[in-house]
Amino acid sequence: MKIIYTDVLIIGGGLAGLRLGIGAKRRGHDVIILSLVPPKRSHSVAAQGGMQASLANVIKGEGDNEDVHFQDTVRGSDWGADQHVVRMFVNTAPKAVRELAAWGVPWSRVRRGDRDVIINGQKVTLTERNEAHGLIAQRDFGGTKKWRTCYVSDGTGHAMLFTMSDQAIAQEIPVHERTEAIALIHDSGRCYGAVVRNLITGELVAYVAKATAIAGGGAGRLYRVTTNAVISEGIPTAIALETGIAAVGNMEAVQFHPTPIFPAGILLTEGARGDGGLLRDVDGKRFMPDYEPEKKELASRDVVSRRMEEHIAKGKGVKSRFGEHLWLDITLLGEHHIKHNLREVYEICQYFLGIDPTKDWVPVRPAQHYTMGGVRTNYTGESPAKAYSQPARRPAGTCTALIASAGIRWQKPLSPA
């Protein structure tokens, strides 16, 4: 029987798992990360648009701060969010961006002076402040009052994941690639690690750890059409569920993204709309302002997705061999902007659709994108044991939290009370 011992076992090698590992290692604990694939191939790599943090460097972000970010997030959640956790998040997000900046992420930067952008279909000239020159830039995104999304050209996920992975390598954190945790090891309400299958040799190994963390991402592949990678099957969440002790929360909250390409489901970033792209129907009409006069294409994703489906149901979809779809029009952004700031979009259209988005409209239709649900934890990330077998020790603090599935659930071994 093969057993591997460590202090912290992390199931999942994407942004969350890697950062957790770096944190624990820095504090002197041994860490092992399990990943289905090389960490740099994790689904985190697909995040195109950017990461929100209230740095307020750009002129359209002036006046932004944690309070505004907090409000936007709570509203966006339709009040399903735990507001204590949201506060923790919005306060830490700027620190996260700045930490990554120090570690090497080449965030796009503000250039002082005038520049032209497209807002609501119109060309607008923005003037960036002198004192902002060289600081991290932000762009517009759906559901936000201020421009808050920090980005790296059009490959934010890639840049972040590679920097994070490289820093984990610098910390000498071992990643056991092509391994899969197929069950958690637990006894009397305490998690001791996992039974892990080596996907190359088929060997089963027991990994035993003081603390086990679940950072395995979402479960888009429950659906036929999803923007998610093939590996986004939710297995780490499922093995937590299978303990009979840990719980999952709000699993019915599934987000659909408005603009994956049709029919493949490959994501086209929200940044395409953030930068001024428009949605059009079979008549070429820009229909979103009729449904959402204030936010139009930049209402939150669930709202835009629903409006698009509603519009198709009214008979305004474009008919094709594979079904109906609508159009994303980014031609108005101009060739330079598209090839520069939306290059991944350009490439996806080129390779998977054989079209040129500087000239043509792109077929899109909403598809599954994000799993808001995940393992139930408290604000520290711990999964409390159920009270049915013996009284579980209360987690410190009085508030409880639910961290969404792209983050981390941490199976804390709880000693019996």
Partner 1 sequence: MHGFNRLGGNSVAETVVAGMIVGEYIADFCDRSENDIDISTALIHEALEHERAKLDVLIEGNRTENAAVLMTEMKEIMTAKVGIFRHGKKLAEAVDELQKLLVRSRNIGLRYKARGANPELETAYRVQKMLKLALCVAYGALQRTESRGAHFREDFPRRDDAEWLKRTIATWRSETDTLPSLTYEQLDVMKMELPPGWRGYGAKDYIDHPDTPKRTAQIEQVKKKLNGADRFALQQELLPYERLLPERFRGKNERIDEMMEGER
Partner 2 sequence: MKNENHTLRQLKISVLRFNPQEPGSAPRMQTYEIEEADGMTLFIALNEIREKQDPSLHFDFVCRAGICGSCGMMINGRPTLACRTLTKDLDSEISLAPLPVFELIADLSVNTGKWMRHMSERLETWVHLNGDKIDLTKPEERMEPELAEKIYELDRCIECGCCIAGCGTVRMREDFVGAVGLNKIARFRLDPRDKRNDDDFYELIGEDNGVFGCMSLLGCHDVCPKKLPLATQIAFLRRKMAAVGWK
Residues 160-179 that bind partner 2 (CB under 8 A): 162-163, 166-167, 169-170, 175, 177-178
Out of 87, 198, 247, 263, the only residue in the binding site for partner 2 (CB under 8 A) is 263
Question: Taking a C-beta distance cutoff of 8 angstroms, is the pair 403, 409 a contact?
Answer: yes
Q: Is 159 exposed, middle or buried, given 0-12, 13-18 or 19+ CB atoms closer than 10 A?
A: buried
Q: Applying CB under 8 A, which part among 112-120, 250-258, 320-328, 348-356 lies near partner 1?
A: 250-258
The answer to whether 89 and 407 have CB atoms below 8 angstroms apart is no
Q: For tokens 């279909």, what's the residue? A: 121
Indicate which of partner 2, partner 1, none lies near residue 152 (CB less than 5 to 8 Å, by partner kind). Answer: partner 2
17 binds, among partner 1, partner 2, none (CB under 5 to 8 A by kind): partner 1
* Count of CA atoms in the C-beta half-sphere (13 A) of 177: 7
| Of the candidate residues 24, 229, 235, 279, the single one contacting partner 2 (CB under 8 A) | 229
Least distance to partner 1, CB of residue 96, Å = 4
- Cα(91)–Cα(220) distance, integer angstroms: 29
Distance between CA atoms of residues 113 and 249, nearest Å? 47
Check residue 40 for interaction with partner 2 (CB under 8 A).
yes
Residue 229, CA distances (Å) to 13, 63, 164, 272 in order: 14, 37, 19, 21
- From the candidates 43, 273, 301, 409, give the one annotated as an active-site residue: 273
SS3 category, 268: coil
Q: Which of 332, 403, 353, 375 is nearest to 122 (CA)?
A: 332
Q: 125, 232, 218: which is closest to 405 by C-alpha?
A: 218
Per the annotation, the verdict on 273 as an active-site residue is yes
Q: How many residues does the chain have?
A: 417
User: What would the x/- binding string for partner 1 be over residues 217 to 236, using CB under 8 A?
Assistant: --x-xxxxx-------xxx-
By CB under 8 A, residue 302 contacts partner 1: yes
Q: For residues 51 and 93, is the Cβ–Cβ distance under 8 A?
A: yes
Residue 126 or 355 having the CB closest to partner 1 = 126
- Indicate whether 278 belongs to the interface with partner 1 (CB under 8 A): no
Q: Which does 290 bind (CB under 5 to 8 A by kind): partner 2, partner 1, none?
A: none
In whole angstroms, the minimum distance from the beta carbon of 251 to partner 2 comes to 24
Pick the catalytic residue: 43, 69, 257, 325? 257
| Interacting partner of 383 out of partner 2, partner 1, none (Cβ under 5 to 8 A depending on kind) | none
> In the numeric block, which tokens belong to residue 22?
């770096």
- Please count the residues of this chain forming the interface with partner 1, following the rule CB under 8 A: 164
Measured in Å, how far apart are the chain's first and last C-alpha atoms? 31
Under the binding rule (CB under 8 A), the answer on residue 81 touching partner 1 is yes
Q: Is 176 a catalytic residue?
A: no
Site for partner 2 in 287-346 (CB under 8 A): 321-322, 344
> DSSP for 83-127?
HHHHHHHHHHHHHHHHHHHHHT----B--SEEEEEEETTEEEEEE
Show which residues are catalytic.
257, 273
**Residues within the interface to partner 2 (CB under 8 A):** 37-38, 40-41, 43, 45-46, 55, 94-95, 97-99, 101-104, 106-111, 133-137, 152-153, 155, 158-159, 162-163, 166-167, 169-170, 175, 177-178, 200-201, 229-231, 263-264, 266-267, 321-322, 344, 347-348, 351-354
